[in-house]
Amino acid sequence: MKIFYGWVVVGAGIVVTCIGFGAMLSLSVFLQPMSEAMGWTRTGISTAALINWLCMGVGTFVWGALSDRIGTRTVVLCGGVLLGLGMMTASQAASLVQFQVLFGVLVGTATGSFYVPMTATTTRWFTRHRSLAVALVSAGISVGSATVGPLARWIITGYDWRTAMFVIGELALVMIIPAALFVREPPAPPLGSGTAATAGAEGREFTAAQALRTPQFAAIALAYFACCAAHSGPIFHMVTYAIDHGVTPMAAVTVLSVAGLASLGGKIICGLVADRVGAMRTLVVGLAIQAVAVSLYLFTRELASFYGLALMFGFAYGGVMPLYAILVREYFGARTMGTVFGAVAFVSTLGMALGPLAGGWLYDTFGGYFWLYIGSFGIGLGAVAIAFTFRPPRSLVAVLAKPSLAH
């Protein structure tokens, strides 16, 4: 039986996002051993993570635009090489500033080359199972965060942090580069076929400039930002919040693991649901569940309730994340998917950076996390309200005619 090649691309995407994001997110495992071995402050090491996120955000847009021009395979190959070299050279850093540049800039920029280009190519391969396919590529991120970190911890225990980081860099080279070679674009539809496989709203293709000027782009980007701002703070501070309420540190870490596993299930299940009822409906429900889950943290005190809420919260935030790519694809078409979704994803990384920072400031200012969860709940409701405004763009002619009327 012949396998549809789109699923091969999905498999390659899972490997790429797993190793790529797993390497970037493993920094939390290195925090303590690096601080003890090098005498660097945890704030200084954490600054590398902030630089990493900012560079990834910019890189997401740049790499996405490049993938539309030179192809996803080339972009992912370049990102894989840059990631491997970034991890390996960062492992040899002699000063904190060197580490911040090597890990923050190189690894962050490299990681931006994976999710958006792979998602853009995946959407071009699928029509019937598009949401599920994108969800599976996104699920690689969850798998990476659950596997690469423990691998790093195991190597650190037997050797040291430098060896662990160097090995992960080697792993990136030997896993991502071969996987990228399996990435290819789908065959072009026959000229004049009028197929909807590549077209956006009303069967039309938008250029990047046209798409970025639409209110639909602004709404999707703002909703994605609010979604990430609402859940990133609670995720980042989940462990310390549980510890503050009497949960042992080891058990608190497992609460975070449960949320991660639930997010993996949420991506797959919401992908299946979105293929049946539509991405927009699924997104609205998922965002509403996320907002409710955030508010329930205010009433959570026991370990069992932390586990139960982690399942609900993880399922919701994991399930909604791949759906924005589906909406961008449906609204604006495939031709400039990398550029447009890259721009949307860049806005979302600002929300991801805002949540943890605001949560830390609120804790230091008010001595607790009450206002973090109140604020996250409010922002989460805002994301729901914005999602209700989503409407497919009018015909390309109408979109372009609107500015001309102003003259």
**Residue 13 DSSP SS3:** helix
Domain ranges of the chain: 1-186, 196-407
pTM: 0.81
Provide DSSP, 68-132.
HHH-HHHHHHHHHHHHHHHHHHHTT-SSHHHHIIIIIIIIHHHHTTTHHHHHHHHHHH-STTHHH
Whether the per-residue pLDDT at 358 is higher than 80: the answer is yes
Domains 1-186 and 196-407 share a fold: yes
In contact, 100 and 116? CB cutoff 8 Å = no
Give the pLDDT confidence of 64-116 residue by residue, as tens digits. Answer: 999 989 999 999 999 999 999 999 999 999 999 999 999 999 999 999 999 99
What does the alpha-carbon distance between residue 399 and residue 350 come to, in Å, rounded to a whole number? 28
In contact, 329 and 137? CB cutoff 8 Å = no
Q: Which two tokens stand for residue 355?
A: 């949540």
In contact, 141 and 115? CB cutoff 8 Å = yes
Give the pLDDT confidence of 211-250 residue by residue, as tens digits. Answer: 888 999 999 999 999 999 999 888 878 878 888 888 887 7
pLDDT of residue 336: 85
Confidence of residue 397 (pLDDT cuts 50, 70, 90): very low
- Give 1-186's CATH code, choosing from 1.10.10.60, 3.10.129.10, 3.40.50.300, 1.20.1250.20: 1.20.1250.20
What does the alpha-carbon distance between residue 314 and residue 231 come to, in Å, rounded to a whole number? 9
The CATH architecture one would assign to domain 196-407 is Up-down Bundle (1.20)
Average of pLDDT values for 150-168? 90
Average of pLDDT values for 42-62? 85
Give the pLDDT confidence of 278-309 residue by residue, as tens digits. Answer: 999 999 999 999 999 999 999 988 899 999 99
Cα–Cα nearest to 264, from 140, 147, 117: 140
What does the alpha-carbon distance between residue 337 and residue 342 come to, in Å, rounded to a whole number? 8
pLDDT of residue 401: 45
